[in-house]
Amino acid sequence: MSTETLAIKFTGKNYVAWEFQFRIFLKGKELWNHIDGSTLVPKEGIELSQWEAKDAHLLDFRLVTLVKVPKEALVSLQPIHEDSRHDQFLMKLRLEFEVVRAGLLNRNPVSSLDICLRELLCEEQRMTTQVVLGSTKEISEVVNVAYAAQGKNRGKGQMQCYSCKEFGYIARNCGKKFCNYCKQNGHIIKQCPTRPEN
């Protein structure tokens, strides 16, 4: 095959024109059925050697129609392409990932796509956990511990109720609840039946 028959070389931006020329040329050389898969690879014999010869002609045509790009240009374009993929991936995220996206985009140096994906999976797991915790009526024990008055080296059995100051439970589970509004036992001001709702 010679380059005189090729009017258009593929540059990466002219795919439609190149593909049209490529298809017409291969149909003229009876090689198109190699591309579209209508010709199956023979198992052995003369048919196999003829098929391999056509395949080599096809490969030669592909190589001739491609524009040669210097190695230095490819090396300099690869990081730009990687950053572009990274930015495109992050910009397509849903709104609930806005905080993570901002954090990942503002890092210096920019995180790799694998690190971004790992952090997004962690955030997705955290959000799923929050949904599960929010759907139950009881607040998790981890959240309850935040309300407990704990000293150094105290375990769960040493939690202190801030209402009655006894150990072993927290105010939400306290049986000695006292209302500061009506001055009665058994409930707290938030649950007081005599207090007018605002």
Q: Tens digits of per-residue pLDDT, 154-172?
A: 555 577 776 777 888 777 7
Helix (H, G, I), strand (E, B) or coil at 185: strand
Q: How far apart are CA 96 and CA 111, in angstroms?
A: 20
User: What pLDDT, on the 0 to 100 scale, is given for residue 90?
Assistant: 84
Q: How far apart are CA 103 and CA 28, in angstroms?
A: 55
Instruction: Give residues with Cβ within 8 angstroms of 9, minimum separation 6.
Output: 18, 65, 66, 67
Q: How far apart are CA 27 and CA 49, in angstroms?
A: 20
Question: By percentage, how much of the chain surpasses pLDDT 70?
Answer: 72
Mean pLDDT in residue range 117-122 = 88
Q: Is the pLDDT of residue 175 over 60?
A: yes
Q: How confident is the model over 50-61, as pLDDT tens digits?
A: 888 877 877 776
Mean pLDDT in residue range 12-23 = 76
Mean pLDDT in residue range 67-91 = 72
User: What pLDDT, on the 0 to 100 scale, is given for residue 105?
Assistant: 82
Q: Is the pLDDT of residue 174 over 80?
A: no
CB 163 within 8 A of CB 188: yes
Which pLDDT band holds residue 46 (cuts at 50, 70, 90)?
confident
Burial track 111-127 (b if 16+ CB lie within 10 A, e otherwise):
beeeebeebbeebeeee
Q: How far apart are CA 90 and CA 114, in angstroms?
A: 12
Q: How confident is the model over 122-150, as pLDDT tens digits?
A: 888 888 888 877 765 444 444 444 444 44
Q: In the predicted model, what is the mean pLDDT of the chain?
A: 74
User: What pLDDT, on the 0 to 100 scale, is given for residue 151?
Assistant: 47
Mean pLDDT in residue range 2-18 = 67
Q: How far apart are CA 99 and CA 68, in angstroms?
A: 43
- At residue 127's C-alpha, the angle toward residues 121 and 133, to 5°, is 140
Residue 2, phi then psi, degrees to nearest 5? -120, 155
Q: Where in the chain are the domains?
A: 3-64, 71-135, 140-198
User: What pLDDT, on the 0 to 100 scale, is given for residue 148?
Assistant: 43
Structure tokens at 25: 């040329």
- At residue 197's C-alpha, the angle toward residues 196 and 198, to 5°, is 115
Would you give the DSSP letter of residue 144? Answer: H
Q: How far apart are CA 174 and CA 165, in angstroms?
A: 10
CB 178 within 8 A of CB 163: yes
